[in-house]
Amino acid sequence: MARRVVVLDSGYDSYDTERAILAPLGAEVVVRACDRDAARVAEALRDAEAALVRESPVTAAAIAAAPALRAIVRYGIGIDNIDLDAARARRVFVANVPDYGAEEVSDQALALLYAVVRRVAARDRAVREGAWNVSRHERMYRVAGRTLGLVGYGRIARAFERKLRGCGVARVLVSDPHAAPAPGIEIVDLDTLCREADYVSLHAPLVPETRHLIDRRRLALMKPTAILVNTARGPLVDEEALVEALAAGRLFGAGIDVYEHEPPRRGHPLFGLANAVLSDHTGWYSEESVAELQSKAAAEVARVLAGERPLHWVNPWPQ
């Protein structure tokens, strides 16, 4: 009987890559799209030896109901939809793919920042409606000489820093408890970063301690000319407080790719704000990143099925 690897979320054009990598191990790849439904995940995993997952929740109940389960691999970086403690208790390996998409997500952060800085969306709408030469009605400020604030300093943040340095930013502030001192950056606490940065870009993981990391108090610390960019996880930001700050003009603007609840509901308050530029959690995507992500995720499953530890093991237990 073939070993079963279950894909819990559809969305890719083909799973030939996973099948090619896992077939030599006698594994069959089966797509069972669960559409973020926890009960469907539990049913889908009952006969699985491994799972590949994007957004659907892998709960303690689902793990308990899957006696053969040995590995859960996240297509991506964030692992907040997987119960790590339950997996650890069952000695189920959980792994992610942290070394993909840094160029794409940092490109998206750069695109959102510049769209806000240069009011690209507002100018596009105005021109289509017949307006012309109205720039002074919407002030803009030069990027060169500004201060960049990075909340989190992993691969994506460092790629974004490299790109913004090419645009002439003068200072780079970093708030990250794990960041080591490095030339050209100033490690500061988050409140200092919020007070002094012109651009605050979020690159932190979502864990209980970082939920609403940017709240009403920290938004109030930011300059009225500051711009917030979030390409990490939506719940890092208190969206209600952000809407209030943007609507009141207490921030210049925000570039948002991720939301507290995805997809955001129709008529979300952010949709009516001209100083918010929005995208649909698309920062991770390019044709190259999809190919890289599928092959690296499948390779992690292959390691476990071959009796090895995954390369990016995120729920280690004492040996």
Given a cut of 70, whether residue 1 has pLDDT beyond it is no
Residues 168 and 255 in one domain: yes
Q: Tell me whether residue 54 is one of the annotated catalytic residues.
A: no
Q: Tell me whether residue 233 is one of the annotated catalytic residues.
A: yes
Q: Total structural domains in the chain?
A: 2
Residues 273 and 177 in one domain: yes
**Residue 314 resides in a domain:** no
Q: Which residue has the higher pLDDT, 134 or 302?
A: 302
Residue in this structure with the two tokens 């997809």, named with its chain if needed: 263
Catalytic residue among 233, 239, 300, 312: 233
Domain around 36: 3-100+286-305
**Token pair listed for 150:** 């990075």
Residues 115 and 226 in one domain: yes
**Residue 316 resides in a domain:** no
Residues 118 and 86 in one domain: no
Residues 137 and 234 in one domain: yes
Say what the pTM is. Answer: 0.90
Q: What is the pLDDT of residue 318?
A: 87
**Residue 85 resides in a domain:** yes
Q: What is the pLDDT of residue 20?
A: 98
Catalytic residue among 262, 288, 308, 309: 262
Dump pLDDT digits (tens) for 154-176. 999 999 999 999 999 999 999 99
| CB-CB contact of 75 with 30 (8 Å) | no
Give the lowest-confidence range in 59-68, 128-137, 196-205, 213-222: 128-137
Q: Name the residue among 11, 16, 1, 13 with its Cα closest to residue 298.
A: 16
Residues 89 and 126 in one domain: no
Q: Tell me whether residue 178 is one of the annotated catalytic residues.
A: no
Dump pLDDT digits (tens) for 213-225. 999 999 999 999 9
**CATH code at position 114:** 3.40.50.720
